[in-house]
Amino acid sequence: MVLISLRRLIVIPFIVLMLFAGGIMYYFSTVTVSNVADGVGLHYIKEVENRVYDRVVDFIAPLNDIVEINRKAFSFRPNQLNDLSNVAGRFYEQAVPYTYMSFISFAAERDGKYIASVRDPFGQTDHHLTSNYLTKPFSLEGFEYDPRQYFGEKITSAPPYDGYDPRKRPFYTDAVKQGDAVWSDVAPYYGYKTLGVGLSAPVYDQQGNLLGVTATSVALIELDKFLKSIELGDNSYAFLAEENGDLIATSKSGELYRTEDGVTTRVSLKTHESKAFQIASKQLVMGAHTLDVDGEHYLYHVHAIALPHGKKWLIGVLIPQSYYYRLLTEYSNSILLITLGLFISIALIGSLIAHHIGKPIRALNNAAKDSKFESITRLPNPLSPIREIDSLSQGLRVMAHDLSDIMQNLEKKVAQRTSDLKYENEHLLEQSNQDELTGLYNRRGFNVGFDRALLTAQQQSRSIAFVICDIDHFKRVNDLFGHTVGDQALQVVADVLKSQVRQHDIVARYGGEEFALVMVGMSQEEILSRLNKVRQAFLERPVCENHHITMSFGIAYRNNSASHAPQTLITEADEKLYQAKNTGRDKIVA
């Protein structure tokens, strides 16, 4: 089975997932960007269009509303027109809420009297009133607005315009001719740098008699400002134009009309200084189009605004493809980065958790591998804040403690048992080397002691004597007194021999009634002296009923320079014992 660390187990799946998800997201984002880019671009364009549309509709609506309200008011109550001062007050009140409402006027059919509430097209000065009859008939003059009597101080900065008969002006004649509300041409305002447009409507009494014409007018500079205020992307364009392409407002700088040699001409998409507008002028059909402007691919959309009384204006928006491609790519890249960031964060958190879990487990593992139980008991307590791991650690701690006790008891028992066995071994060894009857070394014990004595003699260059002695006619003792007495005789021999040698000399029962002595560093004379004392001791110590035993001795002696080969010593001593036996017994042959 392949072993894997906890950290890898957690981290690797997340890295694999991250790479997999990242790859899929990258693929889909690339495909998606190219698939939906134009849709998104169009959506963006429509957002811009809607803003322009709403603004234009809001902007134009009061123009129509006020014309219609006045038209109905005068139609139902024509006597209001008898005092044009009141009409002037009414117009003033109507114009106040709309800073861009530059004219609200009425011109009477009966006598050509004209009254208007006027404001400069930029909305920078207060409203004032204009009339053509107050001081001099058909002399158009301006007056400050006075809330108490409406007509206040005469404005002298502008000279009066004599001979002004509104009934001859296009706003009047067009409305009468049309018999209904009619739009004026979009045209520059006289004396102000802005275009304007007006709506005029004939007013009839209930009997159908023409009472006059009421009109409103607005300065279109407001719409131009609005289009310029829209934050379009780089190299993007928006315009508001009439159906023929004459411009009303644009998002770009550039003139909307030109005056040359006293002749004023409107600027159209075609004649605008912007190359994009020039190319857009060729395509004024409603809907989405693509354009190529200086090698740049554009998405272009034209939308119509239907104004009251059959007026139609066009909104156009041009956006370079690179702009919304970049927006979408940046967006999808952000999503991709956020997703990858999430996966990396999860993998890092997983790694931290694995480390947190793995560290105490490794410590437990190392402690468990150590043959000393103390390693487990020395682990920090608690080992981990994770309940399961700490529980495992507690379990191992208890187990180690119990095992430690068991081991200690076992060691004590083993030590005791070893000591007992050692003692028994020593005892058995002693027994195996000892003759049971006499307590002397047996043949095996003799061999061990003899080898040791030979080595000592050789190492220390000392003499060694091997003596073999045999009870004379021992068979008779057994025969005469029985084996028990025979055994006692053997014990007496053992006692006597032991009493006549040194502590460290070897005395052994060599076999049957045969005994052996080994003495190191003792002179031959000394040996003979001691053996004679043994013989003397037998005379003084009867084994039974005044029966004395005698022994025959064969001695093999080597001084310090002689060879100490054991078998030659034994053979030699045997031969000498044989010699002693054959020559009368109870003697020592050296």
Q: What is the SS3 assignment for 246?
A: strand
| Cβ closest to ligand GTP, residue 210 vs residue 485 | 485
Place of tokens 């800073």: 99
Closest separation in Å from C-beta 487 to ligand GTP: 5
The verdict on 224 binding ligand GTP (CB under 6 A) reads: no
Site string for ligand GTP, 487-526 (x = CB under 6 A): x--x---------------------xx-------------
Tell me the window of 32-40, 73-81, 190-198, 482-490 that interacts with ligand GTP (CB under 6 A). Answer: 482-490
| Cβ closest to ligand GTP, residue 103 vs residue 510 | 510
Q: What is the SS3 assignment for 92?
A: helix
The verdict on 167 binding ligand GTP (CB under 6 A) reads: no
Position 8, amino acid: R
| Cβ closest to ligand GTP, residue 222 vs residue 472 | 472
Place of tokens 């040194």: 502
Q: Which residue is nearest to ligand GTP (CB)?
A: 486
Q: How many residues bind ligand GTP (CB under 6 A)?
A: 15
87 vs 383: CA distance, rounded Å: 95
Closest separation in Å from C-beta 536 to ligand GTP: 20
The C-alpha torsion from 452 through 453 and 458 to 464, rounded to 10°, is -160
Cis peptide before 13 (omega within 30 of 0): no
Q: Which of 51, 167, 289, 473 binds ligand GTP (CB under 6 A)?
A: 473
211 vs 520: CA distance, rounded Å: 173
The verdict on 441 binding ligand GTP (CB under 6 A) reads: no
Closest separation in Å from C-beta 500 to ligand GTP: 21
Site string for ligand GTP, 390-409 (x = CB under 6 A): --------------------
The verdict on 472 binding ligand GTP (CB under 6 A) reads: yes
Show the tokens assigned to 200: 């005029």
333 vs 347: CA distance, rounded Å: 21
559 vs 167: CA distance, rounded Å: 177
Closest separation in Å from C-beta 585 to ligand GTP: 6
243 vs 237: CA distance, rounded Å: 18
| Cβ closest to ligand GTP, residue 262 vs residue 584 | 584
Q: Which of 175, 279, 471, 519 binds ligand GTP (CB under 6 A)?
A: 471
Nearest residue to 284 via CA among 249, 256, 242: 242
Strands 551-558 and 588-589: parallel
* Phi and psi at residue 311, to the nearest 5°: -85, 135
- Which DSSP string do the residues of 199-219 spell out, in sequence order? EEEEEE-TTS-EEEEEEEEEE
Identify the helix (H) or strand (E) that includes residue 440. none
Closest separation in Å from C-beta 506 to ligand GTP: 20
Q: Which positions ≥6 away from 239 have C-beta within 8 Å?
A: 227, 247, 249, 250, 251, 269, 277, 280, 314, 315, 316
If 0-12 CB within 10 Å is exposed, 13-18 middle and 19+ buried, where does residue 48 land?
buried
The verdict on 7 binding ligand GTP (CB under 6 A) reads: no
The verdict on 548 binding ligand GTP (CB under 6 A) reads: no
Q: Which of residues 571-590 bind ligand GTP (CB under 6 A)?
A: 581, 585
- 555 with 589: CB under 8 angstroms? yes
| Cβ closest to ligand GTP, residue 117 vs residue 442 | 442
The verdict on 470 binding ligand GTP (CB under 6 A) reads: yes
Closest separation in Å from C-beta 572 to ligand GTP: 19
91 vs 93: CA distance, rounded Å: 5
| Cβ closest to ligand GTP, residue 168 vs residue 483 | 483
Cβ-based neighbour number of residue 152 at 10 Å: 14
The verdict on 326 binding ligand GTP (CB under 6 A) reads: no
Tell me the window of 40-48, 348-356, 372-380, 483-491 that interacts with ligand GTP (CB under 6 A). Answer: 483-491
| Cβ closest to ligand GTP, residue 94 vs residue 442 | 442
144 vs 146: CA distance, rounded Å: 6
| Cβ closest to ligand GTP, residue 80 vs residue 478 | 478
Q: Which of 413, 417, 427, 483 binds ligand GTP (CB under 6 A)?
A: 483
| Cβ closest to ligand GTP, residue 113 vs residue 509 | 509
Interaction site with ligand GTP (CB under 6 A) = 470-475, 478, 483, 486-487, 490, 512-513, 581, 585
